[in-house]
Structure 1
């Protein structure tokens, strides 16, 4: 029974130490939550920026296709047809079939 009397002051001194340690752990957890939230917000902002850039690029591509898409294809085909007709000119003909020397 006499040994129990020694533990009472030790327990009395440990209570504030445990309280301080618990408060410190709580502050560390709050700081961790704040830093995680900040990092997540930064990643969300970067993601939103990338999405906006991609949307802008798609708008430009849609404009190109709808404004002049068919016109460009027609011009390319016209150039191909012109090269087929002009066999005496320089360049490689588009039809790559072997031709017999005459």
Structure 2
């Protein structure tokens, strides 16, 4: 029984150290979770802003210029095709025009 009385202060110190370390670990976990959540929120906010800008453009197309949306979409598609394929006539010396 006497050994338990001598051991009790050491056990208490070990318990206190364990509790303090456990608290620090929990704080680190919370900080990491908060940082990850903040980054995700920033990414979502950025994406929402991009989508809002696109909706504004669509609203402006529909309301400012009437309902000629199909023609404008086709014009945009033509622009994309020209940019992708290149513009103008290819310069090939071997394929000359024959008179």
TM over 0.5: yes
Q: 1:50 aligns with which of 44, 47, 52?
A: 47
Q: 2:27 aligns with which of 5, 9, 30?
A: 30
Counterpart CA distance in 1 for 2:68 and 2:10 is 87
Q: 1:17 aligns with which of 4, 7, 14?
A: 14
- The normalised TM-score by structure 2 is 0.65
Task: Decide whether aligned partners of structure 1 residues 73 and 50 sit closer, same or farther in structure 2, where only a CA change above 3 A counts.
Answer: closer
Q: 2:59 aligns with which of 55, 59, 62?
A: 62
3-state SS, counterpart of residue 70 of structure 1: coil
Counterpart CA distance in 2 for 1:33 and 1:74 is 54
Instruction: Please identify the structure whose Cα radius of gyration is greater.
Output: 1
Q: 2:34 aligned with 1:5, yes or no?
A: no
Shift of 1:73: 5.6
Shift of 1:72: 4.4
Q: Provide the alpha-carbon RMSD of the alignment.
A: 2.0
1:97 aligns with none
Q: Which runs of 4+ in 1 moved over 4 A?
A: 72-75
